[in-house]
Structure 1
Amino acid sequence: MKNSRTKKLTTVGMLCALAYIAVAVGRIPVVLFLKYDPKDVVIVIGGLIFGPLTSLAMAVIVSVVEMVTISSTGVWGCMMNMISSCSFACTAAFFYKRRHTRSGAVAALACGVACQIAVMMLWNWLAAPVYMGYPREAVEALLLTAFLPFNLLKGGLNAGITFLIYKPVVTTLRRLHLVER
């Protein structure tokens, strides 16, 4: 039992490190101040393997480490990163846990993308005026022209990449005896 917990903790720690590396080297400016990074791919893989609470823990850990090391967005950016990552990864992991099939994975990832888009549209509307110092009217004008397309792109890329690499990643982790069958 102890060996299993140690393996899980080590594997989750390794996945957190990979997610952080994805932020540090994979950040791509998209529109305005919005940047895409593939960290959510790693976070959702952790959740698909170990469950939604693991996604939650990974999102918090990676966002906080990002905030104190390489981010210039401070506490607001950290909070927005956590909310975005959790809404996608925890939702996908929750639904995948109920239907562990290829079609279940597609449905779970689609639910994760839909949840992330809805949640981030609301949070951008609520937080951007405070966080960015923009008037609410300016933020409302950006919702459909910047935030929605960005979140569609981000969610679609994260879901697509996850779908393509999940099985090979899990197979490798199983071969290394880091996750159970």
Structure 2
Amino acid sequence: MKNAKKVAIIGVFAALSFVVMYIEFPIFPAVNFLKYDPSDILALLVSFVYSPTVGLIVLAIKDILFFIFKSGDIVGIAMNFAAGTLFIVPTAMIYANKGRVREILGYIVGITAATGGMALLNIVVVPYYWKISLSDVFKLLPWIIGFNAIKFFIDSVVNAIIHKKVKGILEPDENIRREE
């Protein structure tokens, strides 16, 4: 992190992402423990401008702050970080400032990776964490898959709308662009 502007942007976006994480609501009332929050949008935004590494730093800081100040639930925060990582990394890597087609392809791959990866992760983690049977997890799986698909679709649409508008403000100097 040689650039003061980049460090400041990471700090500001991590703090904003943490605050925005408090805006949460269930997508499906039947499974109200699955709550949507728009905080990953900010990490994706800086991933598009700088790199997936910068987005993951924002994501990690946001989740650590949320763990300390609100949740205290290490498993839930770890799952949140995993979901964000599964979405942000492939989306930003495919996009890499290469145009609208690659951006859309990135969103599709990111949504698919996050949705599929979180389905598998829930199958492994939830039986131990909640102390429920695997058959009960499979009953929840359609809700989990639907939730993640909708969550990351919303994040994609919002990012597609705003990232071109704020890109110029966040743009790094060309000589330090994508140095991660």
Shift of residue 11, structure 1, vs aligned partner: 0.8
Residue of structure 2 equivalent to 1:49 = 49
Pairwise mapping of residues 112-123 of structure 1 onto structure 2 (< 5 A)? 112-123=110-121
1:171 maps to: 168
Instruction: Flag as ranges the 4+ runs of structure 1 deviating above 4 A.
Output: none
Say which of 100, 122, 129 aligns to 1:131: 129
Residues 1:76 and 2:75 aligned together:
yes
Measured after TM superposition, the shift of residue 109 of structure 1 is 1.5
Amino acid at match of 2:56: L
**Distance in 1 between residues matched to 2:60 and 2:169, nearest whole Å:** 26
Q: RMSD value over aligned CA atoms?
A: 1.6
Residue identity in the other structure for 1:65: L
> What are the equivalent positions in structure 2 for 1:1-181 lying under 5 Å apart?
2=2, 5-24=3-22, 26-31=23-28, 32=31, 33-71=33-71, 74-97=73-96, 100-144=98-142, 146-174=143-171, 179-180=172-173
Gaps (5+ residues) in structure 2?
A: 175-180
Q: Mark the runs of 5 or more structure 1 residues left unpaired by the alignment.
A: none
- Percent identity between the aligned chains? 25
For 1:46 and 1:172, the matched residues in 2 are separated by: 11
Q: Relative to 1, partners in 2 of residues 1:173 and 1:55: Cα closer, same or farther, differing over 3 Å? A: closer
SS of match in other structure, 2:173: coil
How many matched pairs?
Answer: 171
Once the two structures are superposed, residues 43-65 of structure 1 have per-residue CA deviations (whole angstroms, 9 ceiling, x without a partner) of 11111111111122222111111
